[in-house]
Amino acid sequence: MNNNFSAVVPYDMEQQRKETKEFLDDLTTRDQRMMFAVLTLVHTADTKKQLDNDTEEILTIVRKRLCQMAVLKYQQLDGLKTALPFGVRRIDAFRTLTTESLAVFMPFRVQEVYDSHGIYYGNNVISKNMIIADRRRLMNGNSFILGVPGGGKSFTAKNEIVSLMLSSDADIIIIDPESEYGPLVRALGGSVINISANSPNHINAMDMSRDYGETDPIIEKSQFLQSLCEQIVAGHKFQKGQQSIIDRCTENVYRYYKQGNYMGTPPTLQDFREELLKQPEPEAHSLALELELFTRGSLNTFAKQTNVDTSNRLICYDILELGEQLRAIGMLVILDSILNRITQNRQAGKRTYIFIDEIYLLFMHEYSAQFLYKLWKRVRKYGAFCTGITQNVADLLQSYTARTMLSNSEFIVMLNQAATDRIELAKLLNISNEQLSYITNVDAGHGLLKVGSNLVPFENKFPKDTKLYALMTSKFGEGYFAGNAGMLGSQPGELSGNHDEQEILRKIREVSMNNAEFDAMVKQYMSQ
């Protein structure tokens, strides 16, 4: 204005010019609209001093974000009437906003999950409302629980099991490779079936009902036996022609059982091995030799007739002591036994929930992964729902089958994740950077819940001074283990260093009702 073109433009004027230009660009090029708005915030306190302190704190917070707020003096009642949802505006303090900026302040933008007849999974971190979800209403009710060790995976699964037991009449079956579900299952009146090489409990791998499979039970059983034999043969690779031999022997060994309308005593793996020895091909004899350890040798626990009662509504298969050689086979046999149970429940019109801990073990080999994949797709039609629990997300995602199962599962609980796992999950499930913050370095029981197309951050704080928490927690030094073995150390849940292993086991027997269970628990913790 003074024709002094060398003068420096004041910063405030330059900033206003920049903001005005951006505002004009929004209106002219980005199809925005200029809106008038008034934002009113009401807060209360018990005393005037507390109210002033709160006011100053609020003003400090908004100043950090380059916002300005003014205190309404002699207008408190008008401000309250403006803030209440009456549609009345008593404050004439308009400011201009674009439609994009104004949309940020619109209410009801938080995703909520509240299904009727659902169960509780925690509180919404943003809205603090309860998350009530019903997996039965989803197109695919199968689910995964993912997280690092200590993130609360097994606790989340146990919490769901308790809710299902109390709110439905469905059957619940658990595969427990770490022997951590036993106390809760017994407290709920369920049955714990310990399966190991030296256990008196046996499950016949050849058990088969009339409704086994979707088409021909013999064909389905042949595919299962191929999966089983793949785990047994050296290198987990079949020789040329061995798959055809397995199919042929399966047909032969079930011939009389099929003629009897699947009634009576089914064949066993010992009968299957004898049938292999009758074949002329050397590949059949080689396969029979591989099966000898698991039929007539020391690992023949799945080659005998079933002698356990699986009629209980809540069943836990404890496979902690199976060992590495039998674990993959054992999980396959138990899955096959579960498939028989599901088909029976389907005929009775009853739902079934299956929880598989450390599910990544089944994806380490091709045939076992394919068997689980078929079970994952099939159970939905049978009124059943599978839940996979694992901490090895990176290993899980290396399998194409596992990635497909994970991407097709509409119910996923993501707890605290490792850095590499977060990147892979973000790509697979289209998780934004802001949503990833809810599974980054968070406490146990906090994470992200995928329900259908909704991604909801949640927190599940369970009261620790309850008997249920003591039964559900797997944290060393807490809960069930600490209550029974705490006398061994100077502090509850601590083992004194002055005792050797035999002395520890002896003292546990003195305070324990179940010797075998506590022996296994102490050995597990000492090995770790």
Q: What would the 3-class secondary structure string for 291-318 be?
A: HHHHHCCCCCCCCCCCCCCCCCCEEEEE
Report the alpha-carbon distance of residue 372 to residue 359 in Å, rounded.
10
> Which of 39, 21, 12 minimizes the C-alpha distance to 101?
39
Q: Alpha carbon of 359 to those of 94, 372, 451: distances in Å?
A: 58, 10, 21
Return the CATH fold of 119-203+306-459.
Answer: Rossmann fold (3.40.50)
Contact 258, 218 (CB under 8 A): yes
List the pLDDT tens digit at each of the 528 positions of the chain.
778 777 788 888 888 899 899 888 888 887 788 889 998 999 999 999 999 999 999 999 999 888 889 999 999 999 999 999 888 999 988 888 888 778 777 766 678 899 988 999 999 988 888 999 999 999 888 999 999 888 889 999 999 999 999 999 999 999 988 888 999 999 999 999 998 888 888 888 888 877 776 667 888 888 888 888 887 886 667 888 888 999 999 999 988 888 888 788 889 999 999 999 999 999 999 999 988 988 888 888 888 898 888 888 999 999 888 877 787 788 788 888 888 888 888 888 899 999 998 888 777 766 677 778 888 888 888 889 999 999 878 777 788 888 888 888 899 999 999 888 888 888 888 888 888 989 999 988 999 999 988 899 999 988 888 889 988 988 776 765 554 443 333 333 333 333 444 555 555 555 444 556 656 666 666 566
Residue intervals of the chain classified under CATH 3.40.50.300 are 119-203+306-459
Contact 198, 320 (CB under 8 A): no
Report the alpha-carbon distance of residue 390 to residue 364 in Å, rounded.
13
Report the alpha-carbon distance of residue 306 to residue 340 in Å, rounded.
13
Locus of tokens 């990147």:
423
Locus of tokens 């609020």:
58
- The per-residue b/e assignment along 108-147, b for 16 or more CB within 10 angstroms, e otherwise, is eeeeebeeeebbebbbbbeeeeebebbbeebebbbbbbbb
The pTM of the full predicted model, rounded to 2 decimals, is 0.70
Contact 145, 413 (CB under 8 A): yes
Distance of CA 121 to the CA centre of its chain: 11
Strand-pair category, 119-124 with 130-133? antiparallel
